[in-house]
Chain A
Amino acid sequence: MSTPLANPGRGPRQQFELSIGRVSLRLQMSDAQLFGAASARYAAFSDAAAQPTTIALNGGAAPNGAPVDFAYELEGAALRAFSTEIRFDGVRNQYALDSLLRVLLSWKLLGRRGFLLHAATVVRNGKAFIFTGRSGAGKSTVASSSPEGSVLTDEISLLRREDGVWRAYGTPFWGEFRAAGSNSSAPVAGIFRLLQAAENQVEILRPVAILRALLPNVLFFSAETQANRRLLEILSQAATEIAGYNLAFRQNATFWEVLPS
């Protein structure tokens, strides 16, 4: 949904509402080119929610005297979270916006028992299979060898625990597959740590090994102690409640034959 807003002296400010993993956001900006790029990039995640968090892009002065709950800087672009609104400043293109959105989501998910993970997610028989690993591990191979429409994301998966069930959500954050993620979710079947090998093989992991597999692939940007304690609590719960495996695979679709159903 896009709506022009009155913004005297700066040209019309436009807004775009979206929802990623049920985190509702409203982007407001005056830059028409950036607005066009953002609304196209996040079109599949467009959603008008009742009470979205407002993000003001390059909006000028910050709220007077308001304390900053969370701040992050990335290559000249800055995120500041105030109690009343979020500010993204120095955002020159859609890539900077995309990066700050990932940072913001990773922070907001802490309060929703969720996290972002470098992982491709594929839905099969109604369940989400999560394939995690760094660049080159095979996430794009998994995504590209899966049936059309079954890939929630080929790069960044969003996991959150809702009503006692872990669900995986698609995100609009692209990987090598260059496909916009799917704005849908499914209950998690398992987390699979990708390892390239000559033969397909799965090995079940203990919770501490799942945690060990998750940690290097979690997107998190706060060095603040309480935030890290909260993240570790969430990840420990995920590692205890979600089945996890090492998946040695041949970089083609035959790996499905060895996965647990």
Chain B
Amino acid sequence: MNSPTRATMLLETPFHSRVADRCKINDWGNWMGYTTPNAYFDVELEYFSIRSTTGVFDLSPMNKYRIQGPDAEAYLNRMATRNISKIGINRVGYTVWCNDAGMVMDDGTIFRLGESDYRLCSYQRAIDWLLWCALGFDVTITDETEDLAALAVQGPTSCTSLTEMGLTDLNTLKPFGMRTYDFEGEKLMVSRTGFTGDLGYEVWVSPEKAETLWDQLFDAGKEYLIKPFGSYALDIARIETGFIQAGVDFVPAEEMVRPGRARSPFELGLSWLVDLEKPLFNGRTALLKEKAKGSRYRFAILNVDGNKPADHSFILKGDRQIGTVTSAAWCPTAKSNIAFAQLEMPEGSIGEEYVAEIYYQRELHWTRLLAPCKVIDGPIFNPKRRRQTPAIPH
């Protein structure tokens, strides 16, 4: 007798009826307990909707936490590595947060909704940690994950599609800015944020208005070739633009079992997010030490020869293994074969050349490919339209 498997029923997002209708190939995955499409109709075409027209991604499963109260700013400054005081009202900041050992637990975005009112969006469930962090601070923490539905609307015609839907003057919204609009008798919040590295927005409404939002958006975007995209297409876009992902490019520190497997922000190429001038934040003491002593690893973006994605490859320097690949994809727009690697210090300086040891299979036949690769300076895809304000109409 086999022992029964432990299965949990996956939840549906507020957009589910619309998503399911469009998910022609019926390829679903489990994203943090929600059933979400891996692909809707064709991964490459979905990807090209992000880069050429408008792509829509249901990001409702993202964990959303409201942080309010007189100590909200001090609380976030203690929790996150970057200086939260620099995030103005109606602005959004990307940050990571660490445990005491200075190891990254997760990354996410902080939306400043008011003077002492913030929303944190994280990939991982974080309520336990957020509540521990609240001891000694006058703040209230509310899990709003199920109270807010959200769509990422990304791509060169995204601004036009949304404007067409009624978000007047959206083109004046700056990157990492946010704004509210009246929508069907409620408030709709839109932020110029995203995970694709393109011009793009994230739109936030109550779950009750989710389907209406979807319908109106797809109507408005029809002329601009609006398409939904799934997590496979998103993965290509985020690799192309240099975004790391929790659970893929690093092990969330408090989930780590084996000592030494977690990574610090410095080791993930995120030193720009760490403000050691702040008097106190979780991990500061450890990060100061790391800064003095040197890190163990370096995050590197590699441009790999050929077109075989270097998934799970070893990186070799001569005969010596100096690192491993955490994410890899053939990136269609940049026409490059990109890999994120964790390299042992002091390896990984810009321009260094190594060999990626790639294994791939054709009809049960494994082939080993030694592909030369080179450390590049920053993401391969970083278009002007991502930053331009007013956003360029298409």
Co-complex (A, B)? no
Interface set of A (CB-CB < 8 Å, partner B) = none
